[in-house]
Chains A and B, each alone.
Chain A
């Protein structure tokens, strides 16, 4: 194995750089100190010196080969373009179904379903807690019938579907509904391709709520879904470790990746404890990154995250199947960077972030719509997002060679630095007793809160510039003339459907199936089969969640 640059060459370059500094640069280099968003120092110029000691095969390698810095597939986008996976979700299932079909008819190759807050937090549309939220910012799903209405006419054996379920407790119910729907249509489980989000940090750390399950319980349900999928759903990604929302809540790029991988480590340990070999489930784990505005750092993050995950799976868990070591990730452009002021600027932000995702080797991509600081996207805004993806794919020629930024002194330096820092943060979490402990003790929440607070202070002071907001602000702080999406009236319709369902279904079977589920909560058994039975009996989401809340108890996260 040889180094990229031998020591003599590095020494020669160092000498030349010194000369250049004196003769050519002189005092034009400026004196300010520059860092990436996560705090990595940035030099004015990078030369081969930044790559001193690096070996190509060991540290960078080839796409489709360890350490997978350059991508998980040998041919990357020539083999298969990233999935254009746009978000859809609002109103009643029937309303949302129309939007799904609109996106698919216009060339989207997958869909991302987002649910309204009551669904996301495990309440029915007619629960008092749901008031004012039904069908807002996502689609309402209360029952198996709603799931069927949502996907009516959608070929779920051909389209890859991502259910943005957030919480494990909700994942196990909605995934069960999805499976029962497939079974009723005669589609074998082996054909179901898609993703559920299923991240206990969403339940206990990233999102707050009036009734939260304790970390241990939420983590158990997360692992139940992964274990079940490992055994029965060969094409399903039962978990999407959600760095995205963690980042949006308040972390930097290093923390985003490190915490998600720490969650994967905790999961792997638990499933191994349950008797599954690493190679039975590791390849079904997927990740979800938030690509913000620091262009090169985000690309380096994507490249570094693949390497760290490979090292974890290979060295720590001794994975034998190479597929277990491949980090597959979805990217969504950063909602947190979108502004309400001058919303059309968001098209530019999202396009640049989308480009970074491609240069980082993402498997699927959602580009945010310019009006997200207002409401769910209008049809027009959703189309601009879709078209942005298609422009990147078809017009820019960036997809036709693999990992085109490899070999850039700067990008390779950042990638190496990122990987080191991700490892450092993983170690910090482990020193706190692992991720679950770090959540239970409130440390994770404090990390987020402190970062968010600092970020806000930097915006207030102008240290962090946002065009149109605290930098280059035009005299009139207008919003421009954009149409704002109006949600269709949903609450009334969902309530009526629930009332009708309760009339029609056999309530004895519902009660019996919930009683079995309740009993199994106290055991260590995987709960999915019992949730499936309850779903088949037409038990509603809220009824099943209430069993969890009663059995597992509630937890309030510590926030100082």
Chain B
């Protein structure tokens, strides 16, 4: 796992070897605004799973500092009682500059946990308050965790959320306005969803482990729905394609960056743009053409 996280040269071999072993785990994404209690709910779900005899992988993602590249990964604190739990494997990842709520190596870490035989993999996104759509490409089931009083926030990101979330959880439901938030969500869903899976809205107080069972129940329902409609298999196929595309893009970007750093012709061009002797658009067109020809 260390190899994939640090993009070691042997990563390719490792990943190629494990692909045939993947596809078994139920991958669940948890997204939502900061402070909604994603970590706590993730921890409670993991605990519930191991009690039920299942094994769980947990991936927690936190932002890297844009200045230093370092990161403070604090999610384990909220899952502290799982540190000695043999059925649970937790891995904290930093975004390392990647947008969209995931880390560059999230897919690989999930694949490894899947191949290692984890029954369920819980992926907790950064939680920037933005719609973190990336997770829905990787996960079978996406859970949107929110709290009472964030109604306005939900309104503004409504469209995006309704598209990606399969289950809504109103956490901290002991607070005022929980019922109202749940009702508002349900109304929005009624307007938006036409046929197919109708995302349920669940209330929970994760800090007191209330409602975890109901959330898990909804996850199970969603899984049955996916399997009944053939989407379970489809998601797996899509995921592999998505991984391929992501890797193509990453490799291309890597090559471009390297070329910009190393190719003296390109560096000359960069200097001319910086000096104001060449307009950036013309330069970009030239560079793309140049790189494309050089690569092929």
Asked if A and B form a direct contact in the complex, defined as CB atoms under 8 angstroms apart, the reply is yes
Chain B, range 23-64, C-beta contacts under 8 Å to A: 34-35, 40
A506-541, CB < 8 A from B: none
Whether A214 and B77, one on each chain, are in contact in the complex, defined by CB atoms closer than 8 angstroms, is no
- Does A214 contact B207, Cβ atoms closer than 8 Å? yes
B74: interface (CB < 8 Å):
yes
How many residues does chain A have at the interface if contact means C-beta atoms less than 8 Å apart? 12
Say yes or no: A210 contacts B80, CB within 8 Å: yes
A8 at the interface (CB under 8 A from B): no
Chain A residues within 8 Å of B80, by CB:
210, 556
Q: Which residues in chain A, 51-109, are within 8 Å of chain B measured between CB atoms?
A: none
Are A442 and B35 in touch, CB under 8 angstroms? yes
Asked if A556 and B78 sit within 8 Å, CB to CB, the answer is yes
Complex: how many Å from CA A93 to CA B271?
A: 76
Bound together, the chains give a CA A558 to CA B38 distance in angstroms of 11
Max count, chain A CB within 10 A of own CB: residue among B40, B81, B207 = B207
Judge whether A559 and B77 touch: CB under 8 Å. Answer: yes
Using known A-B contacts A441-B35, A442-B35, A560-B34, determine if residue A553 contacts B208 with beta carbons closer than 8 Å. Answer: yes
Closest residue of A by beta carbon distance from B39: A558
Chain B minimum-CB-distance residue to A557: B77
Pick the residue among A210, A555, A560 that contacts B207 (CB under 8 A).
Answer: A555
Mark contacts of B197-226 with chain A using CB atoms, 8 A cut-off: 1 yes-contact digit, 0 otherwise. Answer: 000000000011100000000000000000
Rounded to whole angstroms, the CA-CA distance of A433 and B95 in the bound complex is: 33
- With contact pairs A559-B74, A560-B74 given, residues A554 and B34 touching in the complex (Cβ less than 8 Å): no
Shortest distance from the beta carbon of A452 to any chain B beta carbon, whole Å: 14
- Least CB separation from A560: chain B residue: B74
A212 to chain B, nearest CB (A): 10
| Complex interface residues of chain B between 94 and 122 (CB less than 8 A to chain A) | none
Residues in A neighbouring B74, C-beta threshold 8 A: 559-560
**Which residues on A sit within 8 Å (CB–CB) of B209?**
553
Q: Majority SS of interface residues in chain A? A: loop
Shortest Cβ distance from B21 into chain A, in angstroms? 34
Q: Do B208 and A558 touch (CB < 8 A)?
A: no
Complex CA gap A210/B208 in Å reads 17
* Nearest A-chain residue to B207, judged by Cβ: A555
Q: Which residues of A contact B207 (CB under 8 A)?
A: 214, 555
Docked Cα-Cα span, A553 to B80, in Å, equals 14
Instruction: List A contacts of B208 (CB < 8 A).
Output: 214, 553
CA distance A214 to B209 in the complex (A): 13
Q: Mark B62-81, 1 if CB is under 8 A from A, else 0.
A: 00000000000010011011
Chain B residues within 8 Å of A442, by CB? 35
Question: Is A556 a contact of B77 with CB atoms below 8 Å?
Answer: yes
Across-interface contacts of B77 in A (CB, < 8 A): 556-557, 559
Centre residue among A214, A556, A559, A560 by max chain B CB count within 10 A: A556
Query: Within the complex, what minimum Cβ distance (angstroms) separates A88 from chain B?
Result: 33
Smallest beta-carbon distance B70→chain A, Å: 14
A481 to chain B, nearest CB (A): 40
Query: Restricting to A3-43, which residues have a CB under 8 Å from any CB of B?
Result: none
Q: How long is the Cα–Cα vector from A554 to B34 in the complex, in angstroms?
A: 22
Residues of A within 8 A of B34 (CB): 560
Cα A560 to Cα B35 in complex, Å, equals 9
B34 nearest CB neighbor, chain A only: A560
Docked complex Cα distance between A269 and B80 (Å):
33
**Chain B nearest CB, measured from A298 CB (Å):** 32
A553 to B209, CA, bound (A): 10
How far apart sit A364 and B78, CA to CA, in the bound complex (Å)? Answer: 39
For B35, the chain A residues whose CB sits under 8 A away are 441-442, 558
User: Complex formed: what's the CA distance from A441 to B35 in Å?
Assistant: 8
In the assembled complex, the CB of B67 is this many whole angstroms from the nearest CB of chain A, namely 13
Which residues of chain B have C-beta atoms less than 8 A from A210's C-beta?
80
- A559–B77 Cα distance when bound, in Å, is 8
Contacts of A441 in B (CB 8 A): 35
B72 to chain A: closest residue by CB: A560
Within A421-480, the residues touching B (CB, 8 Å) are 441-442
Q: When chains A and B are docked, how far (Å) is the Cα of A442 from the Cα of B36? A: 12
A236-B35 Cα distance, complex, nearest whole Å: 40
Q: Which residues of B contact A555 (CB under 8 A)?
A: 207
Per the bound structure, the CA–CA distance linking A560 and B78 in Å amounts to 11
How distant is the Cα of A210 from the Cα of B207 in the complex, in angstroms?
Answer: 16
**Most chain-B Cβ atoms within 10 A of its Cβ — which of A554, A557, A558?**
A558
Q: Which residue of A lies closest to B208 (CB)?
A: A553
CA distance A405 to B221 in the complex (A): 73
The distance in angstroms between the C-alpha atoms of A210 and B74, with both chains bound, is 15
- With both chains docked as a complex, state the minimum distance between the C-beta of A187 and any C-beta of chain B, in angstroms: 42
How far, in whole Å, are A560 and B80 apart by their CA atoms in the complex? 15
Which B residues from 152 to 207 make CB contacts under 8 A with A?
Answer: 207
Interface string of A210-231 (1 = CB under 8 A from B): 1000100000000000000000
Distance in Å: Cβ of B145 to nearest Cβ of chain A: 14
How close is A32's CB to chain B, nearest CB, in angstroms? 28
A371 to B237, CA, bound (A): 66
| CB–CB B78/A558 < 8 A | yes
Taken together as a complex, chains A and B put the C-alpha atoms of A442 and B37 apart, in Å, by 11
Contacts of A558 in B (CB 8 A): 35, 78
**Chain B, 236-275, contact with A by CB distance < 8 Å: what is the 0/1 string?**
0000000000000000000000000000000000000000
Known: A442-B35, A555-B207. 18 other contacts (CB 8 A): A210-B80, A214-B207, A214-B208, A441-B35, A553-B208, A553-B209, A554-B81, A556-B40, A556-B77, A556-B78, A556-B80, A557-B77, A558-B35, A558-B78, A559-B74, A559-B77, A560-B34, A560-B74
| A-B CB proximity, top 10 nearest | A556-B78, A559-B74, A556-B80, A559-B77, A556-B77, A560-B74, A553-B208, A555-B207, A558-B78, A210-B80
- Write the residues of chain B forming the contact surface with A, with a CB cutoff of 8 angstroms: 34-35, 40, 74, 77-78, 80-81, 207-209
A selection of 13 A-B contacts at a CB cut-off of 8 Å is A210-B80, A214-B207, A214-B208, A441-B35, A554-B81, A556-B40, A556-B77, A556-B78, A556-B80, A557-B77, A559-B74, A560-B34, A560-B74
